[in-house]
Amino acid sequence: MFPERLRDGYRAFHGGRFADERARYETLAKTGQRPEIVVIGCIDSRVSPEAIFDASPGELLVVRNVANLVPPFESDRDTRHSTSAALEFAVQALRVKHIVVLGHAFCGGIQAFVDERAPLSPGDFIGKWMSLIAPAAATLARRDNEDGAAYLRRLEFAAVEYSLQNLMTFPWIRARVERGELELHGAYFGVAAGRLLVRDAATGRFEPVGDGTGTQRTNRRGAD
């Protein structure tokens, strides 16, 4: 049976947001979508880009996978590349102007990689996918007296950095970046605090975005 929670949610949506934005939906149906931003996020149910960025229909193209990872460019025609296909559509067809890699606190995929957990199925799809961050993990030596939570946070940030590097291995992404037609961004969402950190392209540091309350936290742990 179709989940009642979804039936109720749809009724609320149709009588509320859809009714309020019906003209926008009708325009999108006639003219097609033209988002300028694609967000690569995690499948984690706590980290919805549309909710975090208060996006209206048609504003964001969202790609979600385990741990918000971008694989390096590969041209093997016999392999299926879901995230790469989405990027190809966003960049080559829709001509987006921004790609945002959105990491987050308490990432289960990265925790699974750190813990070297046993496969959940014979296919070990998560393990194979998370092996993508092995090169990033190799650059992070465990610090003296560093607890597991602190190391996990550092690896979450490193995964965002690594995905940004991988984006530049796609020839058609690199070309548009070098022509000034496309910008790449890193960001990190703290689930508990609701804080958003954005990577400064010049320094590589993740800095807090003001939330309008006049209070900010300036360190990575404070984003949790």
pLDDT in tens, 92-149: 999 999 999 999 999 999 999 999 889 899 999 999 999 999 999 998 888 878 788 8
Torsion sign across C-alpha atoms 13, 14, 19, 25? positive
126 CB-near residues (< 8 Å, 6+ apart): 66, 109, 112, 119, 120
pLDDT for residue 218? 47
The SS3 call for residue 214 is coil
Task: Answer whether residue 197 shows pLDDT above 60.
Answer: yes
Question: What end-to-end distance do the CA atoms of the chain give, in Å?
Answer: 37
Angle between helices 148-167 and 108-115 in degrees, nearest 10? 110
The pLDDT-based confidence of 55 (bands split at 50, 70, 90) is very high
| Overall CATH class of domain 33-223 | alpha beta
Domain range annotation of the chain: 1-32, 33-223
